[in-house]
Structure 1
Amino acid sequence: MFFASDNWAGAHPAINERLMRESTRFAAAYGTSALDQAIEKRFNEIFERDVAVFFVATGTAANSLALASLAKPGGVAFCHAEAHVIEDECGAPDFFSGMRMSPVDGALGKMDPKQLTSRIARYPQDAVHHGRATAVSMTQATEVGTIYTLDEIEQIARISHDHGLPLHMDGARFANALVQLDATPAEMTWKRGVDVLSFGGTKNGCWCAEAIVFFDPAMAKELPFIRKRSAQLFSKSRFIAAQFEAYLQDDLWLNLASHANSMADRLRGGLAASNSARVAWPTSSNEVFAVIPKDTAKAAQDKGAKFYDWLEPHDMAEPVQGHEQLIRLVTSFATEKEDVDAFLDVIAAG
């Protein structure tokens, strides 16, 4: 019953097998191998246009370096108040970009367009004392398990571009959002106005594979130097490329995300039918937030369930009572129906 994070899951067998094959041969280093170049072309196919792709090791690196490439002196970047880039990356985006992350409110993890417009207005381009608006970052799927619709992405992009700001998308759970919307990668990104994407693979079956994708390669001219100076240019980067080769082959990445989402649906359904627990708010990705009695939570942990306690959002509709606790449950490609049902049985018994 492992629901702490999709980071807890291992790597998919197809990705392990591809890494094993790669380990027995020689190839050019620092991203110049034939495999690196082939996977960069594969990204062109996936996104239906020429893109610039840079492999990195972690989602924090992808977000931080993407924002660093957009930075200006005195820059301010805008994101949801509970976004990973502002809450859970130890200030790395600020450190690498030299910018400040400015929080934007909005229900259920999504920036409110009016709040974003108002926040941007506080930092005009000549505001030397306060800093100037420079970029916008949105998280898809969000930190609280919700998903921006295609129209919502386009609206955020329109506001960003009306103010001359590029739009970055943190896609650590990109595939989970994509399959839920039944959209193409192009439809969920550049066709709706996204300029730069952090493309995550690690949470969805890879061992260690993230990429920064620029939909206008001209915007990426500084990234090779930024990546090198931040120690993210792997000498054997083909091992990231090898993971992506297996990940993207025969829609494996989409199938893995679909499975994770379906397991979360199973959890949501069971919790909704429970007399002793409730879904904290509606989600549609592979994250589920639930309110359960503290005694039930302890009983589940005693029986081996792994999950995280979660801080109560300020806009939570139904507050957590003193005898309850808010928890986060995350499913993955490796979650089995038996894991979900065993957890729900513990909840029912509580």
Structure 2
Amino acid sequence: MQFMSDNAAPVHPRLWDAMRAADAPDTPYDTDALSRELDARFSALFGRDCAALWVATGTAANCLALATMVDPHGGVVCHEEAHIEMDECGAPGFYLHGAKLLLAEGKGAKLTPDTISTVLAGITRGVHQVPAQAISVTQASEYGLCYEPGEVAAIGALADAYGLGLHMDGARFGNACAYLDTAPAEVAGPVDALSLGFVKNGGMGAEAVVLFDTEKADMIRFRRKRAGHLQSKGRYLAAQIHAMLDDDLWLENARAANAAAAIIAERAGHRLVYPAQINELFVAMTAEERAAVREQGFSFYDWDDTCVRLVTNWATDPDHARALGKAIASL
């Protein structure tokens, strides 16, 4: 009974069907019909003009999006526990040719205008210091907490005041939309670029870079090619994304994952380190308690010395979630 990562989840059958349907001759790279239709699909989803490009990984999506905003001598304000800082092996500095991450604090791995302003206030020495050029927020955060639309709007207002770009790492954007029960346009708010994740949510190997400044799409196209992410049979990536968007499968899957986590959270009670909002739970356990739960057939990651991380996915068996909740409650 696996609760280690939603990256380990199976691919949704409708995506296999979509890729089989795309298994016919078409033009290569991103000139096929499915790839060309992505701009219109995402423009309809967000209610404004978008340029959307596929890439294979979330790391590439984040870095290519940020590359539209940041010079090699510039910086990105992000949370000190953001994925781009902790889990991407220095990829932002690599893709952005030396640009720096400027780290801010914040409870639950969420940024606020105050914590961002603290970082910005420390940049005072002209050419002697790295200037901030963008802000990156994670929706939902590394601790599974969602930014309310008003919170994103406040950060967007700060970005405008300082002339900074605003990026959103949306690896679990679908889970955030499902929890907030809010339209995607409001959940994204005033961001300039969104890395919209599908792999954790039932996809196989396709993420979307959504640009709300459509004039920067060509910059992404060149950088994607230069970075080795322009796949020759791009129609198979585009097919996955279309299948996720069809009939809101991406939201259906996210709701299922969130619901499975809620089953566990109800039994975990006071052990929850952070409120249960999406499909990530952080549960306080001693080393002995972790061993006892694992002996009952459950797998999960240790987060630190005080807690574990439990992650559900679109295909999590509710009975497995109930069993894990019971095991935790019995400790």
TM-score, normalised with respect to structure 1: 0.91
AA aligned opposite 1:181: L
SS state at 2:127 partner:
coil
Match for residue 5 of structure 1?
5
| Counterpart residue type for residue 327 of structure 2 | V
Cα deviation, residue 47, structure 1: 1.1
What are the superposed Cα offsets for residues 18-77 of structure 1, whole Å, 9 maximum, x if unpaired?
112222x11111100111112331111111121111110000010011112212131011
Paired with 2:6 and 2:209, the residues of 1 have a C-alpha distance of 20
- SS for the counterpart of 1:338 is helix
Which letter does structure 1 place at the counterpart of 2:4? A
Q: Is the 8 A contact 1:266 1:340 kept in 2?
A: yes
How far does residue 236 in structure 1 lie from its aligned partner after superposition?
A: 0.7
Task: Give 1:122 shift.
Answer: 2.3
The answer to whether residue 47 in structure 2 is matched with residue 48 in structure 1 is yes
- Matched residues, percent identical? 41
For residues 206-245 of structure 1, the aligned pairs below 5 Å read 206-245=203-242
Aligned to 1:327: 308
SS at match of 1:118: helix
Alignment of 1:1-350 (within 5 A): 1-23=1-23, 25-97=24-96, 98-123=98-123, 127-189=126-188, 192-272=189-269, 278-311=271-304, 325-350=306-331
Residues 75-130 of structure 1, C-alpha deviations (whole Å, 9 max, x = no match): 01100111101111111011111211111111111113212012112235x72111
Kept in 2, the 8 Å contact 1:296–1:346? The answer is no
Whether the 8 Å contact between 1:168 and 1:194 is mirrored in structure 2 is yes
Q: Within 2, Cα distance between the matches of 1:88 and 1:329? A: 18
1:323-342 residue CA offsets vs partner (Å, 9 max, x unmatched): xx410001110111111112
135-144 vs 280-289, which moves further: 280-289
Structure 2 residue identity aligned to 1:299: A
Counterpart residue type for residue 47 of structure 1: F
**Separation (CA, whole Å) in 1 of partners of 2:92 and 2:171:** 15
CA contact (8 A) 1:104 1:112 kept: no
Deviation (angstroms), 1:304: 2.3
Structure 2 letter corresponding to 1:54: L
Q: CA deviation at 1:293?
A: 3.2
Partner AA of 1:65 in structure 2: L
Distance in structure 1 (CA, Å) of the matches to 2:215 and 2:330: 58
**CA pair 184-297 structure 1, distance change in 2 beyond 3 A:** same
Q: Which has the higher helix share?
A: 2
Q: Could you tell me how far 1:349 is from its partner in structure 2?
A: 4.0
How well do the aligned residues superpose, as a CA RMSD in angstroms?
Answer: 1.4
Q: Deviations for 1:141-190, whole angstroms, at most 9, x for unmatched residues?
A: 0000100100000011111111000100000000000111111111122x
Given that 1:123 and 1:131 are in contact with CA atoms closer than 8 Å, whether structure 2 keeps it comes out as: yes
Q: Which runs of 5+ in 2 are unaligned?
A: none
TM-score under structure 2 length normalisation: 0.96
Contact kept? 2:43, 2:50, Cα under 8 Å: yes
Name the aligned partner's letter for residue 289 of structure 2: T
Q: Does the aligned pair in 1 maintain the 2:45–2:184 contact within 8 Å?
A: yes
1:226, distance to aligned residue in structure 2 (A): 0.7
Secondary structure at 2:264 match in 1? helix
Cα deviation digits, residues 173-225 of structure 1 (max 9, x gap):
00000111111111122xx3111000100000000110111111013331111
Unpaired stretches in structure 1, ≥5 consecutive residues:
313-324
Aligned residue type for 1:38: E
- Tell me the secondary structure at the aligned position of residue 187 of structure 1: helix
Q: Is the CA contact 2:268–2:329 (under 8 Å) kept in the aligned structure 1?
A: no
